[in-house]
Amino acid sequence: MSEPCRVTTTIDLDADGKQFGALSVPYSSNESAWGAVRIPIVVIKGGAGPTLLCTGGNHGDEYEGPIALGKLARSLEAADIAGRLILLPALNLPAVLAGTRVSPLDQINLNRTFPGRWDGTVTEMIADYVTRRILPLCGAVVDLHSGGKTLHFLPFCGMHVLDDAKQMARSRDAMLAFGAPFSVIIDEFDRLGMLDTAVEQLGKVFLFTELGGGGTATATTIAIAERGVRNLLHHFGMIEGAPEPAATRLMHSPDPSYFVVSEDRGIFEIMVDPGAEVSAGQPIARIHDVESPARTPATYRAERSGLLIGRRWPGPTRPGDCLAVIATEREPR
């Protein structure tokens, strides 16, 4: 951990008060020989208390985070906060400006490149700075996602299955406090390179959201993001008052059998919409060969009974694409 950091910041992460600034990531291009990418950062620090990091725009085609965290940054003052709130509303700014999942500068998915590289590309340097300079300051992190252009979810706040029971209990309490309509515990297929993993390995609370998707944000999903982050600030005792009461259903998707994955190429048909209860063996999706209408489409069945919480969004589909996600009720404990 003794490598230099090539990213610099225009603010003092430890200073009291409210600061709007930027992480400056060196990037020499045809447009700017001695240039840099400037990732917006806001730090609001009041009296003694915990540090919460909220990130948006980890993927550039998901907008609840950038919008809700910008609103929060403008509305909260240091006098309102006990502790320190660090906001990175557009963590992968080049991707957010392009409206793409991965960065247009290096084609890297930020959320698959943690812990990053100090001597890497722009996206790798962002991950390195967050890993080495910001995460050590934080007690908890919430990363605001939605489904982007290729997925669509019922609005949920999520966490992962963790080995440490105490860390898992603290995370679950925070997830329920966020108060999204659904709270989902997921066992991710492949956690390598995720911000999630970088935070969880430090023993800290990590939450993510999947608030909608399809490449846009709605008034409803933006409101869920805003209310959820404020509820977390209440939960951690960082702002006055109690969380706004919100009904949430605790669910889980504990293994890969809850994810329906394509084995075909063609046009995707969802047969039940998110929010529907499905039973094991029920046909839930088809993939059509639209060039051969006489051919029977491939049918995909739910392997598990439960609630359809997510679906693929665009029509054109290839083998390996995630078509649907199912979750079942989990006992609150």
User: Under the rule (CB under 5 A), what is the footprint of Ca ion?
Assistant: 59, 145
Supply the minimum distance, in Å, between the C-beta of residue 58 and Ca ion. Answer: 7
Nearer to Ca ion, 95 or 278 (CB): 95
Closest CB 77 distance from Ca ion, rounded Å: 30
The phi and psi torsions of 108 (rounded to 5 degrees) equal -100, 135
Query: How many beta carbons lie within 10 A of that of residue 123, not counting itself?
Result: 27
Q: How far is the CB of 179 from Ca ion (least distance, A)?
A: 20
Q: Which is nearer to Ca ion, 76 or 127 (CB)?
A: 127
Residue closer to Ca ion, measured from CB, 109 or 328: 109
Alpha-carbon distance 253 to 239, whole Å?
32
CB of residue 314 vs Ca ion: minimum separation in angstroms? 15
**Least Å distance between CB 59 and Ca ion?**
4
- Contacts of 69 by beta carbon, 8 Å cutoff, 6+ apart: 42, 54, 55, 56, 87, 88, 89, 144, 225, 229
For Ca ion, the closer CB: 145 or 230 = 145
Least spacing, CB of residue 56 vs Ca ion, in Å: 10
Q: How far is the CB of 185 from Ca ion (least distance, A)?
A: 17
Judged by CB, which is closer to Ca ion: 19, or 150? Answer: 150
**Which residue's CB atom is positioned nearest to Ca ion?**
145
Residue with Cβ nearer Ca ion (45 or 152): 152
If one counts every other C-beta atom within 10 angstroms of the C-beta of residue 122, the result is 22
Helix H segments across 76-218?
93-98, 122-129, 165-178, 195-200
Rounded distance between C-alpha atoms, residue 146 and residue 159, angstroms: 14
Do 51 and 84 touch, CB atoms closer than 8 A?
yes
For the chain, what's the residue count?
A: 333
Cβ-based neighbour number of residue 210 at 10 Å: 28
Q: Which amino acid is at 145?
A: H
Tokens 């320190």 label which residue? 84
Rounded to whole angstroms, the Cα distance separating 179 from 41 reads 25
Shorter beta-carbon distance to Ca ion: residue 145 or 172:
145
